[in-house]
């Protein structure tokens, strides 16, 4: 029975409703279940004043034509207005990482853990609840708001750098950063964390040359 497959979860949020669509099932089965839920099982929920709907596709990528099919089905309920239909951005690995460097593009979301043996360059954000583990350096070309652990196999000569440093936690080897609330004041842009005499320190990226000399930061990339 279509209703038993549970390929679609409908959640109420402050802004209206969120439709969470399974990204693994056949698209035709998804449409069948959406129609069933709208016509049969969720009639009481989907009546009344105007409600904004956000549709989350997971990692499924759809052409505009298929998105319009979803919109058309939801529009059959006169009180529903589709505000957005979005797919998650997958974290992708560069096809030619060099000399121990891993280059990722995308967003590390809550619940995701990225682990790499070597140095890591993330062109994107590390969100709260997301974790990056590296044996080497970590560079985040975006906002670092989650957990970053460099040198997690014991190296102490590594750094963690970010365009915006607002972490839940930083860790280098076995040394853990100061409490998160202390990151909420001051200018936290373009900073890096490093160890000095066994304690974690923070400085501006422009001062990295004092720690690393004149070597090229992304040598070999």
Q: What is the pLDDT of residues 183-192, one digit of tens each?
A: 555 667 899 9
CATH value at residue 68: 3.30.750
Residues 82 and 178 in one domain: no
Q: What is the structure's pLDDT at 186?
A: 61
Q: What is the structure's pLDDT at 90?
A: 57
Cβ neighbours for 43, distance < 8 A, ≥ 6 positions apart: none
Stretches in the chain below the pLDDT threshold 70: 1-5, 41-48, 89-100, 178-187, 213-221
- Three-point CA angle 137, 141, 143, nearest 5°: 105
Q: Is the dihedral of CA 78, 87, 108, 105 positive or negative?
A: negative
- For residue 170, CA distances in Å to 60, 70, 134, 214, 216 come to 32, 42, 12, 25, 24
Q: Per the domain annotation, does 220 fall within a domain?
A: no
Q: Indicate the number of domains in the chain.
A: 2
pLDDT in tens, 170-211: 999 999 986 665 555 566 789 999 999 999 999 999 998 888
CA terminus-to-terminus distance, the chain: 53
Residues 76 and 101 in one domain: no
Q: What are phi and psi of 170, to 5 degrees?
A: -115, 145
Q: What is the structure's pLDDT at 91?
A: 56
Residues 70 and 47 in one domain: yes
**Residue 143 DSSP SS3:** strand
91, burial (CB in 10 Å: exposed 0-12, middle 13-18, buried 19+): middle
Q: Per the domain annotation, does 219 fall within a domain?
A: no
Q: What is the structure's pLDDT at 68?
A: 92
Residues 96 and 81 in one domain: no
Residues 47 and 100 in one domain: no
Sequential DSSP letters for 11-37: EEETTEEEEEE-SSS-HHHHHHHHHHI
d(CA 47, CA 43): 6
CATH value at residue 198: 2.160.20.70
Residues 80 and 110 in one domain: no
Residues 98 and 205 in one domain: yes
Single out the residue in 86, 101, 128 at which a domain terminates: 86
State which residues form the domain around 37: 2-86
Q: What is the structure's pLDDT at 52?
A: 87
Q: Per the domain annotation, does 127 fall within a domain?
A: yes
- For residue 125, CA distances in Å to 60, 105, 128, 144, 216 come to 21, 9, 10, 6, 24
- Three-point CA angle 181, 144, 97, nearest 5°: 155
Single out the residue in 86, 108, 138 at which a domain terminates: 86
| Secondary structure of 159-177 in HEC code, one letter for each residue | CEEEEEECCCEEEECCEEC
Q: Per the domain annotation, does 218 fall within a domain?
A: no
Residues 160 and 68 in one domain: no
Single out the residue in 51, 86, 121 at which a domain terminates: 86
Residues 77 and 117 in one domain: no
Contact present, 146 and 129 (Cβ < 8 Å)? yes
Residues 193 and 114 in one domain: yes
**Cβ neighbour number for residue 166 with a 10 Å cutoff:** 16
Residues 71 and 120 in one domain: no
């Amino acid at each position: 029975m279509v209703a038993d497959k549970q390929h679609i979860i409908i959640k109420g949020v402050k802004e209206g409703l969120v439709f969470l669509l399974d990204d693994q099932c056949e698209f035709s089965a998804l449409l069948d279940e959406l129609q069933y839920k709208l016509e049969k099982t969720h009639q009481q929920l989907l009546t009344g004043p105007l409600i904004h709907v956000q549709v989350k596709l997971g990692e499924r990528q759809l052409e505009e034509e298929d998105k319009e099919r979803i919109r058309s089905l939801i529009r059959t309920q006169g009180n529903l207005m589709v505000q957005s239909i979005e797919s998650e951005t997958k974290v992708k690995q560069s096809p030619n990482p060099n000399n121990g460097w891993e280059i990722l593009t995308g967003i590390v979301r809550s619940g995701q853990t990225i682990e790499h043996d070597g140095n890591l360059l993330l062109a994107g954000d590390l969100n709260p609840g997301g974790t990056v583990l590296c044996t080497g350096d970590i560079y985040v070309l975006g906002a670092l708001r989650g957990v970053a652990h460099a040198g997690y196999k014991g190296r102490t000569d590594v750094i963690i750098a970010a365009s915006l440093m607002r972490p839940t936690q930083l860790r280098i080897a076995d040394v853990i950063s100061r409490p998160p609330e202390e990151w909420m004041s001051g200018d936290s842009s373009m900073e890096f964390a490093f160890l000095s005499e066994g304690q974690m320190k923070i400085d501006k990226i422009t001062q990295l040359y004092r720690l690393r000399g004149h070597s090229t930061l992304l040598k070999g990339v």
